[in-house]
Structure 1
Amino acid sequence: MYSSVVRLQNTFGFFTTVAFVVAAFVSLSDFLSPRTPTVNLLKPTSLQVVNGRPHYYSPVQQYGIIKFSLDADLSSLFTWNTKQVFVYITAEWPSLDSQNNTNQAVIWDKIITAPSSDHLAKYGPIERKKLKKAAVGKPIDPSRGKLVLKNQRYKYQITHPSGKIASQEDIVLKLHYNVQPWVGLLTWNQEQTWGKWEALKGATSKKFKLPAVKKKDEGKKTTKSNSRA
């Protein structure tokens, strides 16, 4: 007869096998839900380049400051297996270095949690009540993933290893997303359509150019001329 230890091992092995099979079915169920993320608007609204230092003893560098407007619908990314969606916007521009064809820097990001994982976010009591009320009777709140931002302030400034970024041309803004499920693999924004998962549309803005660094003397001259007038 089998000993108690052997029986316990067999039971645990059977349990892990069943759990793995169930997890695989849960993960594959995501492919049955359509994904139709779209970006209706993504454009810069305010551009500025300033001088600064990352550290006190560091040389002066140029930093690009970009504000933007965004109208996107990522609500189809939320299913019953979605834990949260990480959304971020990058500024990208071509590089003269042959080893690095594109420069990329994140200017803004946001984590959008599903109703089932709101407890993982740092919400206040009032905002938590609103989220729970909005999700009553719904597996997924339809408003999750709908982003409407006007003249949104940047989170991160952009720069370049050379320390110069003023008057940089051919810059575009791009929206990216990363779906983090409860069970399964992480999925990123896709450029091609796979079955019911459609490629992200309208995620790239039109090309624009950063301005030159505004000198302090120019601001003083403008102020003096206005006062004389």
Structure 2
Amino acid sequence: MHSIVSRINNTSAFLSSCLMALLAAIALSSFAFTAQPQGDLAISSIKVVSSNARRYPNKKQDMAFVHFNITADLTPLFHWNTKQLFLYLEAEYANAQGVKNEVVIWDRIVRRKEDAFIKFAGKNKYMFRDISSSFKNVPPANYSLKYNVMPYVGMLTTGEAARTSEPVAFPPTQSRL
């Protein structure tokens, strides 16, 4: 007949196959949830300041400080397969040479459904600089609030919760005091 070792091997192979089928069903069922979160994004002010570059003390570089207000209800994104959300504010603009840029200026991780209603007013968390060292002659930028849903099992999904209604122009550069 069969030895104890072969019976344990057969049983564990069957159980691992069942577990993989269950995980695949969970991952596929996540696509059934198509939630559209609602949000509002307003840019209250932008200030462009000229300062010394970090690595080159004799070179000037413009830095933009964006003040914004976010109100978003992300609770529809949370269901039984959602581990956490990665939420970020992105600035999309084309520089003076016409190269399209997408820059993350603020982010937050939301781990619980209770914390998924976002009401935040603040400024950019990360430095907002252009590679050309100046925001002069740069067309207006669009700002959008985007998210990544990180599930327990399955693929990451992304989406957009809010966007500014019209592009916001960069003001003239101010010298740092």
Say whether the fold is shared (TM-score over 0.5): yes
TM-aligned CA deviation for residue 3 of structure 1: 4.1
Which piece of structure 1 moves more, 28-37 or 68-77? Answer: 28-37
TM-aligned CA deviation for residue 188 of structure 1: 0.8
Measured in 1, the distance between the counterparts of 2:74 and 2:58 equals 41
Aligned equivalent of 2:167, options 184, 189, 207: 207
1:76 matched residue in structure 2: 76
Unpaired runs of 5+ residues, structure 2, are: none
Which piece of structure 1 moves more, 176-185 or 207-216? Answer: 207-216
The amino acid across from 1:22 in the alignment is L
Q: 1:29 to 1:214 in 2, by over 3 A?
A: same
Greater per-residue helix proportion: 1
TM-aligned CA deviation for residue 144 of structure 1: 3.4
Greater per-residue strand proportion: 2
TM-score, normalisation: structure 2: 0.85
TM-aligned CA deviation for residue 52 of structure 1: 3.4
Residue 144, structure 1, aligned to residue 115, structure 2: yes
* 1:94-137, Cα deviation, whole Å (9 max, x unpaired): 24556x4x2111110000003xxxxxxxxxxxxxxxxxxxxxxx
Measured in 1, the distance between the counterparts of 2:164 and 2:45 equals 17
Measured in 1, the distance between the counterparts of 2:158 and 2:97 equals 27
1:111 matched residue in structure 2: 109
The amino acid across from 2:148 in the alignment is N
C-alpha RMSD of the superposition: 2.4
Measured in 2, the distance between the counterparts of 1:8 and 1:171 equals 62
TM-aligned CA deviation for residue 47 of structure 1: 1.0
Unpaired runs of 5+ residues, structure 1, are: 115-140, 190-199, 220-229
Query: Is the CA contact 1:64–1:166 (under 8 Å) kept in the aligned structure 2?
Result: no
The amino acid across from 2:36 in the alignment is T
* 1:140-169, Cα deviation, whole Å (9 max, x unpaired): x4x43211123x121012112211124532
Give 3-state SS (helix, strand or coil) of 2:36's partner. coil
The amino acid across from 2:104 in the alignment is V
Q: 1:214 to 1:109 in 2, by over 3 A?
A: same
Aligned residues: percent identity? 31
1:53 matched residue in structure 2: 53
* 1:69-112, Cα deviation, whole Å (9 max, x unpaired): 111111100001110000000111124556x4x21111100000
Q: 1:96 to 1:12 in 2, by over 3 A?
A: farther
Measured in 2, the distance between the counterparts of 1:10 and 1:96 equals 66
Measured in 1, the distance between the counterparts of 2:14 and 2:58 equals 60
- Where do 1:63-212 residues align within 5 Å? 63-95=63-95, 97=97, 100=99, 102-114=100-112, 141=113, 143-150=114-121, 152-166=122-136, 168-189=138-159, 200=160, 202-212=162-172
What is the count of residue pairs matched by the alignment? 176
Measured in 1, the distance between the counterparts of 2:165 and 2:52 equals 27
Measured in 2, the distance between the counterparts of 1:5 and 1:57 equals 71
